[in-house]
Amino acid sequence: MRLNKYISHNTKYSRREADKLIEAGEVTLNKKVLHDFGYEVQEGDRIFVKNKPVTAKKSGELTVIAYNKPKGVLVTKKDDRGRATIYHKLPGKFRHFTPVGRLDYASEGLLLLTDSTEVATALMESGLDRTYNLKIDKPVTEEMMNAMKEGLALDDARAGAHEKSKITRMEFAPFAHFEIRAEGKSFSKLRVTITEGKNRELRRFFGHFDAKILDLKRVAFGGIELNNLPTNKTRFFSRKEYDDIHQFMKRKKANDKAEIENRANTKKQEEEKQKNKKHVLKKFHKKD
């Protein structure tokens, strides 16, 4: 594991902070100052940060928490504009945890965090259900309904995006589920379930129809429910939730292994096909 990642994964420091510590000579390897940013930490290495040993987590150890993120808080380690982040709100013991995806500044609700970057990445990239309660500033139209059912591809998906976002084109998969829970002349309340976690996905989707999202709250992720967890509070996973996530990771690793083997077999078959083709051509030329 790369040095800054190793420090971030096993301490309270972010990767950026780890880089600064390395640059400042605050990181040592076997009592010698280590300035190599690209150093790959090996088993048996004794890494110290500010003269304190970095203890690697034991294999298989995992902690996951559910957090009810409030509005007006960023999901990032630091903000260059000095705005509050989740790490200002969370207890210190969770400062090195990695969030599973993002909830934007104006959104609230369920955010999972874990001390395993592997698990965080696997959950972020998964097709697990994400369920949201949202309120838009107009009635739901037939066009919106069709797009929720059938999906949507936009060459210009900047409506609803952050002004500094460089993402312009976006494809939206059909919603896994949606229901209109209340509707008036100037608003609609919906519960929607999607299977992707793209950048400001729902704000961009409804923005395409000139609808502004007034409230957005995630209430479930992959079967984990927010339920009555108070705003700005955390809870640890239950035993069943840990069992579920271990099973999820086991299936993912098995699928990844099968995919690698399939790719290798396909490549081997293609090479054999090309080899046989060359052999046939060689025999043909000899006859001539």
Indicate if the alpha-carbon torsion angle 43, 45, 48, 53 is positive or negative.
positive
Is 244 marked active-site? no
Tokens at 126, concatenated: 């998964």
- Angle value at C-alpha 79, between 168 and 63, nearest 5 degrees: 95
Q: Which residue has the tokens 């970095």?
A: 54
Q: Where are the alpha helices (DSSP H) in 125-238?
A: 142-150, 201-207
Angle, helices 15-23/3-10, rounded to nearest 10 degrees: 120
Can you spell out the DSSP letters for 79-137? Answer: -TT---BHHHHS-GGGTTPEESS---TT-EEEEEEES-HHHHHHHHTS---EEEEEEES
CB-based contacts of 241, cutoff 8 Å, min separation 6 = 64, 224
Tokens at 85, concatenated: 């982040």
Tokens at 2, concatenated: 């790369």
* Catalytic-labelled residue, pool 19, 45, 104, 215: 104
Question: Which residues form the catalytic set?
Answer: 104
